[in-house]
Amino acid sequence: MMGAGKSTVAQQLAERLGCPWYDLDRMVEQRLGKSVHDVFARTGEAAFREAEASALAYLVESASTPYVLATGGGTPLKPQSQVLLGRDFLVIWLDGRPEILFQRAEGSARPLASQGLAAFARLYAVRRPLYKELALLRVDTESQDPEKIVTALVRWWKEHTDDRGR
């Protein structure tokens, strides 16, 4: 969900693991030549989700080494993305109370954070079951700083992967 710290944690985790990291929103922006905000404004969320699913599929097919991926909060909304996430990733759910996540996301360029706390909380309620279903691990990010989260995730990663990162 927006405001959980996905990009920050993904980048730091990849650095600690010595592997590349990708931010799915940035990949979509590069592929379309537009910001996420512009895509939402010009073509809508459905078009963005299609582009996001396409970028995810491309990454899964083209990456040859283990990597860390920061998805968008709505990535699991597309069934094909759910399949890829469940099949090809160790999914970690960075979570917090909707009020805290909204506070972090409010005022950003994130299109879905501009509709107020009530709308944000409804969005969270819709997405939460998807996150819960896909995640192998849930991490509460509201009471920990990114460094502590990353340290715990490195430990978890080593316990759940083999020497090739699988």
DSSP assignment of 130-148 = HHHHH-SEEEE-SSS-HHH
What pLDDT does residue 165 have?
55
Domain at 6-154, CATH class? alpha beta
Q: Which candidate, 59, 83, 70, places its Cα nearest to that of 3?
A: 70
Q: Which residues pair with 95 in a beta bridge?
A: 140
Distance CA 82, CA 84 (A): 6
**What pLDDT is stored for residue 51 in this prediction?**
95
Other beta carbons within 10 angstroms of residue 64's beta carbon come to 5
Residue 113: phi, psi to the nearest 5?
A: -95, 0
Residue 29 has a pLDDT of: 94
Rounded to an integer, what distance in angstroms lies between the CA atom of residue 114 and that of residue 136?
A: 30
> What is the C-alpha end-to-end distance of the chain, expressed in Å?
25
pLDDT tens digit at each of 166 positions of the chain: 888 999 999 999 999 999 999 999 999 999 999 998 899 889 988 999 999 999 999 999 999 889 999 998 999 999 999 999 999 999 999 999 999 998 888 766 676 777 788 988 999 999 999 999 999 999 999 888 999 999 999 999 888 876 555 5
**Looking at residue 143, what is its pLDDT?**
84
- From the CA atom positions of the chain, what is the Rg in Å? 15
Q: What pLDDT was estimated at residue 21? A: 97
pLDDT score recorded for residue 166: 56
pTM above 0.85, yes or no: yes
Q: What is the tens place of the pLDDT at every residue in 136-146?
A: 999 999 888 99
Q: In 3D, which of 48, 40, 33, 125 has the Cα closest to residue 81? A: 48
Backbone angles phi, psi at 101, to 5 degrees: -65, -40
Reported as type and span, the H/E element at residue 69 is strand 68-70
